[in-house]
Each structure stands twice: as C-alpha cells, then as structure tokens.
Structure 1
Amino acid sequence: MKISELSRRTGVPVASIKYFRRQGLLPAGRATAATLAEYGEEHAQRLRLIKALTTLGGLSIAATREVLGAVDQAHSSEGALGAVSYALPVPVAGQSPAAPGEETGAEAAAGAEVAELLAELDWRTPDTSPHVQGLTSALKELRRLDAQYAPGELAAYAKLAEAVARLDLERAAGLDDPVALAERAVIVFAICAPVFELLRRLAQENQVRRRVADGGAAAAAPQ
C-alpha cells in the first residue's frame, strides 16, 4: 500500500508517519521508485502500537523508541508485556509534607508491609519493580495519614487484583505476535484500568444507596 493508504487505514497523518520514520520508530517501506515506497500490514500494526504508546500511554518519542526496541527483542509474550508494563507511568499517591525524621521510618515500615504482603501472596515480583516502589510510597502515605490497612485487608484487595489480572491475560490469550500483544497491553493498562476504577466507584455508590434504603426500611418496620 502507498503511504496515503497507510494513513487512511491507521488514522495517522502522513506527516506523522514520515516523522515516526525519521525518528526510527517505523521501518522504511519497500522502495518502488526514487520517491515512492510500498508499505505492508506490519507497518500498519507498528503504527497502531506507536499511536497507542504516544496517545493512550502518554509516552515521549524517546520512551516509545525504547519500548519498541524491547518489544522487538522480546522472545516471549511475557517479555513484551513486561516492556510495556514497566514503561507506562506508575500510579503515584499524592503525598503530604513529612515531618523531620519521619520519612525514613515511614519508608521502612511501608517497605516491610509490602514485602510481607508479597511473600504471603507468593507473588513473583522483584524488589526493583517500579510497581513495588509505587505501592510502598502509597502505603507510606496511608501510614502518615493514620489510615493504614491491616495485612489481612491488603491481602483481600490483592486477591481481587489477582483475579482481574487473570482476566486481563485471558483477553490477550492467543496473541503470539509481540507487537500485537504490546498494543493490547497498552489498551489494557491505559484504558481498562480507568474502566475498572469507575466500575469500583459505581459498585460503592450502589452499596451506599442499598444500605441507606435498607436502613430506612428497617426504621419503618413495625416494632
């Protein structure tokens, strides 16, 4: 296909396609003349991934180049998923100012809680994972606000998260191509995560309304 058709199929402007090519994100097409080139389905697939990383994932061109390089070198679906997961921004809890000397103790306590939780769940996550560090920061803030969760409560939430993770990976089942898998991963991480959070809030709203209604019904019942 010509570059104009590639643009129509992917929704990426011709100028952007040429820019991505100059930046080394998109391989050159097969030259058919001095100023013409033919593009294939692999170019369309790569453009969809680039678009997902830069628009949905919010990655810079440099970060996108690194992810694409990691995906190209991935020898398994796990490698492709890991490249995307580690590249996308890690959710970070808002933090209030710490009192002098408080930071070190809170960090150590939160780190111990995370390590204990991961050991209890038998999750295979390295200490260097940005998600471990992000969770540590979030628990540190909960401690600072005196709203920390007991280990049993955290484990209950973690098991729900594990069930969601299984559903996420089931949706990616059958995708053996690293580029297609990486594109699906960006969609899951960038779009499905907000969808899940909104479902959680809707469920909370439903629970609150039901409890209010049940309380009203109990008060109106004859004694």
Structure 2
Amino acid sequence: MRMSELSTRSGVAIATIKYYLREGLLPQGVQLAATRAAYDDSHLRRLRLIRALLEVGRLPIASIKKILDAVDDDSLPLHELLGTAHYALSPAVESEPGEDWTLARQAADRLVDELGWAVAPGAPARDELAQALLRLRQLGLTTDLRPYAELADRLVTEVELPTIPLDGPREAAVEALVLNSVLYGKAFEALRRLAQESASAARTANAPQSRS
C-alpha cells in the first residue's frame, strides 16, 4: 500500500508517519521509486503499537524507541520483552533517605517473596509498593496488603494474562500488555470507587442515626 493508504487505514497523519520513519520507530517500506515506497500490514501493526504506547501509555519517544528495539530483537525472550514494556509504564519512584524507607522496601520484598512471585529485584513496582507501604504506615493505616495482592494475582492470571497473545506477533503482545496495564487498570480503579460509593451508601443507610 502507498503511504496515503497507510495513513488512512491507521488514522495516523502522513507527516507523523514520516516523523516515525526518520526516528526509526517505523521500519522503512519497500522502495518502489525515488519518492515512493510500499507498506504492508506489519507497518499497520507497528503504528497501532506506537499509538498505544504514546496515547494510552503516555510514554516519551525515547521510551517507545527502547520498547520497539526490544520488539525487533528476536533473540530477546518474550518475557523480557514484556518486562521492558512493563517497566517503561511504571512511574518513577525515588528511594527516600532514612530507616523508614529501608523497612518499607524490606516489607515490600518480603510480601513478594511470601506470595512466591517471580519478580526481578530491580522491578520498579517494588519501589512503588514500598512507597505505598511507607505512606500507609505514616498515616497509621493497615499495611496488610495480602488481600489486595491475592486479588491482583487472580485478576492477572485468570483475566488479563489469557488476553495477551503469546504466540502471535510480538507487537500484539506488547500492545495487549499496555492496554491491560493502563486502560483496564483505569477501569478497575473507577469500578472500585463506584463500589465504595455504593457500599458506603448502603452502610450509612443502615447505620443508627445520632441524636442531638
């Protein structure tokens, strides 16, 4: 297909496609003439992935380039490829000075170990979890996150992971991971807040009214 058709089918402007080509995010097409090239479905898949990373994942171009390089590296196992994408989606969390942070990080690592999860020591989510534990402790709230962890484990293994096409194109697997992590994550948070409002309404309706 010509670039104009690629633009129409992908919904990406021609100027943007040319930018992706210059930056090496999109593979070059088959050159037909000095100013004309042909593109195929692989370019459509790549554009779809780029849009997911950019618009849904809100990743900078440098991070997208790193993920796409991993996609194109066939020697990289799929697990490591998905890890590259997952880590790029994780918010940056800086460790804090002091013993409280150390204890929180140790608690996060201990919970991961107790659950038997195969998580790399440098996974960004470990620091994210440690930060949450630290704030909970500072506010005097419970730091028992096992119920949340068990719920997350069931959600991932029973609902999310089966939707990731592990035996298809590598772009499709990364795109599914991004959509699961971001869009379904947002949907879950919205549903949780709705459930809280509903439960609060039911509980307060049945609560005894105070007398003045």
- Whether TM-score is above 0.5 comes out as yes
Contact 1:71–1:179 (CA under 8 A) maintained in structure 2? yes
Are 2:209 and 1:208 aligned? no
Q: Which runs of 5+ in 1 are unaligned?
A: none
Contact 2:26 2:47 in 1 (8 A): yes
Distance in 1 separating the partners of 2:66 and 2:93? 22
2:80 is aligned to: 79
Aligned Cα root-mean-square deviation (Å): 2.1
Partner of 1:159: 150
CA drift at 1:50:
0.8
Q: 1:58-137 alignment to 2 at 5 Å?
A: 58-73=58-73, 75-90=76-91, 103-137=97-131
Matching residue of 2:23: 23
Q: 1:171 is matched by which residue type in structure 2?
A: T
Change (3 A) 1:183 1:212: same
Q: Which consecutive unaligned segments of at least 5 residues does structure 2 have?
A: none
| Alpha-carbon distance in structure 2 between the residues aligned to 1:55 and 1:174 | 23
Q: How far apart are residue 51 of structure 1 and its match? A: 1.0
Q: Distance in 2 between matches of 1:71 and 1:104?
A: 39
In structure 2, relative to structure 1, the CA distance for the partners of 1:145 and 1:215 (3 Å cut) is closer
Secondary structure of the structure 2 residue equivalent to 1:27: coil
8 Å CA contact retained: 1:106, 1:143: no
Q: Which runs of 4+ in 1 moved over 4 A?
A: none
- Structure 2 counterpart of 1:164, which letter? L
Q: What TM-score do the two structures reach when normalised by structure 2? A: 0.90
Identity of aligned residues (%): 37
Match of 2:145, SS state, is helix
Give the TM-score of the pair, scaled to structure 1: 0.85
Q: Kindly tell me the number of residue pairs found equivalent between the two proteins.
A: 207
Larger Rg: 1
Which of the pair has the greater relative contact order for Cα pairs under 8 Å at 6+ separation? 1
Distance 2:65 2:202 in 1: 49
